[in-house]
């Protein structure tokens, strides 16, 4: 059961109300978990309820999460997957051997590593370019006419902001499609489809869920009738890269507080970035909310309501000083991931030592704690 509003709603209302979802069987304001894997047919052997046949293709909890996410993104349709990388793979498996792909350089290392390997195995030409340089991106599109271009904004862990509209125009002019990884921004801060992207990808493990207890991914599309979207849907349904009902239920629950959490995390991250930018033990702060960030002006026009929970900073003294600071932190957990309610810290050079990451760089995923407490923790860890 659902009670759909008659007027457009703001993201905070849409999310909190789960797009009007009410439990069918009880009238409960929290939708139920539906673990069934198969569904009955009527006397004519037609699916008895809502076209449901088998949960690989017809999963009620997944559809609930997809409907809410599509509304938040302004998308025609959304699909959820068992991880962010499963969503990445679903896009790339639509490409024929011999295609050309343009990939933003220095983005999340897991995405880059998988795409490099996949393109090598499938004889796909891969061109890597710094997409925050719109002129370089446009020239790469003109030179290579990619079938697909992949960007991530803000990028992880460099926090570079990409001009989505400029990239979309450049790749569309050559007949290709643009996919944008918006994991860091979330639809609360930036909706890439409105800037011309064809598909948006999220590691829903991160801020969409927000509680570090679900592994999930998602894709959202501008045109549900597009050939690539139909191929993605078919691949998911037949290959079985589907999200389980409990995980989908948790994802939906997490999205109900997404705008509130993102607002608090972004506000906290801004305060921490400002504090760190004036710290004598800090060499550089990478955060698009700072006026001296090279893509600050673009971020102000493309992101609304904040600049996200992710920031990086470089500690003077290299790896030894950075790791020493991590060891002294009391509130920031040394762990991988981002977008959760708890603050995390990661020494990226340890994770990806051969990618040009400075040895002193620490990546923070800023949570919803009190900003003063987080600043005090950084202060005692860094010293004066």
Largest CA distance in the chain: 77
What is the CATH classification number for the domain harbouring 352? 3.90.1150.10
What is the CATH classification number for the domain harbouring 130? 3.40.640.10
Instruction: Count how many domains the chain has.
Output: 2
Q: Which of 255, 286, 306 is the last residue of a domain?
A: 255
Point out the catalytic residue in the list 24, 56, 63, 253.
Answer: 56
Task: Note whether 283 and 334 are within 8 A (CB).
Answer: no
Q: Cα separation of 367 and 268, whole Å?
A: 8
- Smallest CA-to-CA distance from 199 within 73, 360, 353, 316 is with 73
Digitized pLDDT (tens) for each residue of the chain, 384 residues in all: 555 666 788 999 999 998 888 887 788 899 999 999 999 999 999 999 988 999 999 999 999 999 999 999 999 999 999 999 999 999 999 999 999 999 999 999 999 999 999 999 999 999 999 999 999 999 999 999 999 999 999 999 999 999 999 999 999 999 999 999 999 999 999 999 999 999 999 999 999 999 999 999 999 999 999 999 999 999 999 999 999 999 999 999 999 999 999 999 999 999 999 999 999 999 999 999 999 999 999 999 999 999 999 999 999 999 999 999 999 999 999 999 999 999 999 999 998 888 889 999 999 999 999 999 999 999 999 996
Q: Is 54 a catalytic residue?
A: no
Q: Is 23 a catalytic residue?
A: no
Query: Is residue 270 included in any domain, yes or no?
Result: yes
Query: Is residue 105 included in any domain, yes or no?
Result: yes
Point out the catalytic residue in the list 160, 174, 206, 261.
Answer: 206
User: What does pTM read for this prediction?
Assistant: 0.95
Give the residue numbers spanning the domain of 235.
11-255
Point out the catalytic residue in the list 160, 163, 174, 181.
Answer: 181
Strand partners for 333: 344
Shared-domain flag, residues 275 and 352? yes
Q: What is the model's pLDDT at position 224?
A: 97
Q: What is the model's pLDDT at position 181?
A: 98
Q: Cα separation of 159 and 112, whole Å?
A: 16
Three-state secondary structure string covering the chain: CECCCCCCCCHHHHHHCHHHECCCCCCCCCCCCCCCCECCECCCCCECCCCCCECCCCCHHHHHHHHHHHHHHCCCEEEEECCHHHHHHHHHCCCCCCCEEEEECCCCHHHHHHHHHHHHHCCCEEEEECCCCHHHHHHHHHHHCCCEEEEECCCCCCCCCCCHHHHHHHHHHCCCEEEEECCCCHHHHCCHHHHCCCEEEECCCCCCCCCCCCCCEEEEECCCCCHHHHHHHHHHHHHCCCCCHHHHHHHHHHHCCHHHHHHHHHHHHHHHHHHHHCCCCEEEEECCCCCCCCCHHHHHHHCCCCCCCEEEEEECCHHHHHHHHHHHCCCCEECCCCCCCCCEEEEHHHHCCCCCCCCCEEEEECCCCCHHHHHHHHHHHHCC
Shared-domain flag, residues 249 and 277? no
Q: Is 206 a catalytic residue?
A: yes
Task: Note whether 214 and 337 are within 8 A (CB).
Answer: no
Shared-domain flag, residues 294 and 249? no
Shared-domain flag, residues 206 and 141? yes
Shared-domain flag, residues 277 and 223? no
Q: Is 181 a catalytic residue?
A: yes
Query: Is residue 2 included in any domain, yes or no?
Result: no
Shared-domain flag, residues 86 and 211? yes
Shared-domain flag, residues 175 and 47? yes
Question: How crowded is residue 164: how many other Cβ atoms within 10 Å of its Cβ?
Answer: 25
Q: Cα separation of 171 and 162, whole Å?
A: 14
Q: Which of 255, 273, 305 is the last residue of a domain?
A: 255
Shared-domain flag, residues 205 and 244? yes
- Smallest CA-to-CA distance from 185 within 305, 40, 36 is with 305
Query: Is residue 185 included in any domain, yes or no?
Result: yes
């Amino acid at each position: 059961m659902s009670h759909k509003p008659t007027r457009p709603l703001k993201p905070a209302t849409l999310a909190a109300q789960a797009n009007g979802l009410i439990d069918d069987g009880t009238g409960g304001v929290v939708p139920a978990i539906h673990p069934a894997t198969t569904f009955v047919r009527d006397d004519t052997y037609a699916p008895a309820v809502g076209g449901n046949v088998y949960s690989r293709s017809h999963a009620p909890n997944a559809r609930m999460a997809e409907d809410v996410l599509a509304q938040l993104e302004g998308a025609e349709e959304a699909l959820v997957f068992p991880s962010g990388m499963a969503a990445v793979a679903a896009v790339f498996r639509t490409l024929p051997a011999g295609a050309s792909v343009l990939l933003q350089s220095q983005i999340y290392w897991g995405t880059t590593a998988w795409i490099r390997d996949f393109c090598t195995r499938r004889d796909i030409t891969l061109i890597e370019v710094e997409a925050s340089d719109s002129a370089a991106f446009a020239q790469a599109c003109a030179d290579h006419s990619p079938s697909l271009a992949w960007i991530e904004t803000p990028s992880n862990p460099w926090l570079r902001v990409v001009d989505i509209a400029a990239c979309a125009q450049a790749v569309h002019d050559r007949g290709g499609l643009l996919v944008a990884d918006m994991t860091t921004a979330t639809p609360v801060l930036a909706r890439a489809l409105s800037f011309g992207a064809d598909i948006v990808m999220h590691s829903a493990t991160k801020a969409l869920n927000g509680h570090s207890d679900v592994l999930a991914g998602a894709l959202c599309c501008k045109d549900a009738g597009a050939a690539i979207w139909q191929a993605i849907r078919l691949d998911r349904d037949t290959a079985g890269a589907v999200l389980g009902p409990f995980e989908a239920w948790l994802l939906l629950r997490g999205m109900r507080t997404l705008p509130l959490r993102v607002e608090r995390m972004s506000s906290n991250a801004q305060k921490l970035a400002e504090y760190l930018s004036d710290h004598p033990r800090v060499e550089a702060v990478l955060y698009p909310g700072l006026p001296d960030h090279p893509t600050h002006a673009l971020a102000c026009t493309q992101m609304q309501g904040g600049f996200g929970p992710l920031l990086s900073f470089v500690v003077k003294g290299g790896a030894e000083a950075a790791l020493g600071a991590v060891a002294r932190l009391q509130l920031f957990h040394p762990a991988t991931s981002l977008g959760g309610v708890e603050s995390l810290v990661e020494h990226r050079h340890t994770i990806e030592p051969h990618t040009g990451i400075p040895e002193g760089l620490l990546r923070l995923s800023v949570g919803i704690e009190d900003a003063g407490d987080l600043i005090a923790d950084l202060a005692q860890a860094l010293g004066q």
